[in-house]
């Protein structure tokens, strides 16, 4: 049991050590500057994004989750923050198109920054971790 916990913590440490601080700073600034931050993710990433939205709300920032009844439409000055580890999911592709069409800023958290979909985002935060794209 202890070895499993150590292995998990070592993997988290490896990923966090590989994160570019400039990307983190740019994302933080975008969140602080946004009129509204709307978040999205699928599966486990979606659960994390929902929790992150709650933390942003606790900080007094106007935040919503795609699919909730109270999510406002995006517009200029808003931020669409999406987590898409594998770099492509059709739902994410469609939502990015909507956000860009509404003149919102798009930020993506991904493990595949070289994929075409993250390249469409205004901001990227790369988490160097294994995803289903690499299995």
Report the pLDDT averaged over residues 113-122: 93
> How far is residue 122's CA from residue 80's CA, in Å, rounded to a whole number?
10
Report the pLDDT averaged over residues 13-38: 95
What does the angle CA 83 – CA 84 – CA 90 come to, to the nearest 5 degrees? 125
Within 8 A by CB and 6+ apart from 54, the residues are: 63
Contact assessment for residue 87 and residue 109, using Cβ atoms and an 8 Å cutoff: no
Q: What is the pTM of this model?
A: 0.90
Report the pLDDT averaged over residues 102-124: 95
């Amino acid at each position: 049991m202890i070895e499993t916990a150590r292995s998990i913590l070592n993997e988290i440490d490896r990923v966090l050590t590989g994160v570019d601080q400039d990307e983190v700073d740019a994302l933080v600034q975008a969140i602080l500057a946004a009129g509204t931050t709307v978040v999205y993710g699928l599966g486990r990433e979606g659960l994390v994004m929902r929790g992150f939205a709650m933390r942003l709300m606790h900080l007094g920032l106007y935040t919503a989750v795609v699919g909730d009844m109270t999510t406002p439409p995006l517009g200029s000055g808003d931020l669409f923050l999406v987590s898409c580890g594998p770099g492509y999911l059709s739902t994410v592709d469609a939502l990015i198109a909507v956000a860009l069409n509404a003149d919102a800023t798009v930020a993506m958290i991904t493990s595949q920054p070289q994929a075409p979909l993250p390249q469409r985002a205004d901001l990227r935060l790369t988490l160097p971790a294994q995803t289903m794209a690499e299995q």
